[in-house]
Amino acid sequence: MAANKKLLILPGDGIGPEVMGEVRRIIGWFEKARGLSFDIAEDLVGGAAIDAYGTPLADKTLDLAMGADAVLLGAVGGPKWEPLPFEIRPERGLLKLRKEMQLYANLRPAIVFDELADASTLKREVVAGLDILIIRELTGDLYFGTPRGVETLPDGTRRGINTMVYTSPEVRRVAKIAFDLARKRGSKVCSVDKANVVETTEMWREEVIKLHGEGYEDIQLSHMYVDNAAMQLVRNPKQFDVIVTGNIFGDILSDEAAMLTGSLGMLPSASLGDPDETGRRRALYEPVHGSAPDIAGQGIANPLATVLSFAMMLRYSFDLDEAANQVEQSVRNVLARGLRTGDIMQPGMTLVSTQAMGEAIVEELAKLG
């Protein structure tokens, strides 16, 4: 198993550096035991970049990201930087990174490991065996549409404006990824919209239906209004396989689906763009959880979401399915041993630190041979 790929690591803020340290530990094991090699660069993003460079994403960091085969990010943000103007807050660095890398499809798996089924707030029979994938469009919708802002009217009333905008190519390209990935899973796609009252999402539905008829007839396509989808995710989540939706709906639904698993600390994500002429697809991998500044520096953060994001990177950016499977199986084995960080702690289990969890994963990797 050999590879030499350019990887940019951006630990970020809060618990980001701690959880990223455990991924570094796993990378080191693969390099030593498997001959897997990466050309690794590391830089700052978010609040750490503001402190060092005066901006949440420096030009030199963006250049590194644009030249990398994949970017692995920890987390950004924290109360220290909340008083700053909106346009230079830590989160703007992440949004700029996504925009400049032209990452338009966010993949968020929601998988309930058998060992953690009781950690969910829902009944075991509702969530046990859950394995769904939410694909969220990343570059359009209310977050990027114009006009936007807050204005003061002549009578002194303040009015806030945001614009939901999509074009047909934006809808079709993210729907294509959903259909392609569904073929490798359960061959079911549910497109989520609000087509009964929002014209933009009515167009979304029409474009998804058109694309489905252009070579994806083998995929079972359904449609659901976003309010019903939110309800169905907690009522009967296992009815879904792949969900595809817009930016704001996807932001909300993916966090809801995340909590079906019991902890944000378990959930990875990938953000993908189009392949270039060489077949290289720009990609950013990050855990779903935030920077958790309240527990930063204490060595108690759960590194598994970042570890599983690394596994997604091995699979989607480097075509190293075997290595990805080994990482994921090692996570399962660690959980089966009863090891838990505080966020997923259960009675009778063993509470471990961030570092101990990373060390245990390496132990399990070694056992897999």
Lowest-confidence pick of 50-59, 116-125, 255-264, 301-310: 255-264
User: Do 1-110+274-369 and 131-260 share a fold?
Assistant: yes
Average pLDDT over residues 15-26: 97
DSSP for 228-285? HHHHHHHH-GGG-SEEEE-HHHHHHHHHHHHHHTT-GGG-EEEEEEEE-TTS-EEEEE
Q: Average pLDDT for residues 74-102, to the nearest whole number?
A: 93
pLDDT in tens, 26-67: 999 999 999 998 999 999 999 999 999 999 999 999 999 999
Give catalytic residues, as residue numbers: 143, 194, 227, 251, 255
> Which residue in this structure is represented by tokens 């809060």?
14
Alpha-carbon distance 90 to 221, whole Å?
38
Tally Cβ neighbours within 10 Å of residue 353.
16
Fold of 1-110+274-369: Isopropylmalate Dehydrogenase (3.40.718)
**Rounded CA separation 41/67 (Å):** 11
Does the pLDDT of residue 4 top 70, yes or no? no
Query: Distance of CA 51 to CAs 2, 12, 294, Å?
Result: 38, 11, 19
pLDDT of 1 above 70: no
**Peptide bond just before 147 cis, omega within 30 deg:** yes
More confident residue, 64 or 95: 64
pLDDT tens for 227-240 read 999 999 999 999 99
C-beta contacts of 340-348 below 8 A and 24+ residues apart: 341/265, 341/300, 341/301, 341/302, 341/303, 341/304, 342/300, 342/302, 343/263, 343/264, 343/265, 343/302, 344/116, 344/119, 344/262, 344/263, 344/265, 344/266, 344/302, 346/118, 346/119
Name the one residue in this structure whose structure tokens are 């939706």: 245
How do the domains of the chain map onto residue ranges? 1-110+274-369, 131-260
Least confident of 171-175, 190-194, 279-283, 340-344: 279-283
369 pLDDT more than 80: no
Chain segment 207-218, per-residue pLDDT in tens: 999 999 999 999
CATH topology of domain 131-260: Isopropylmalate Dehydrogenase (3.40.718)
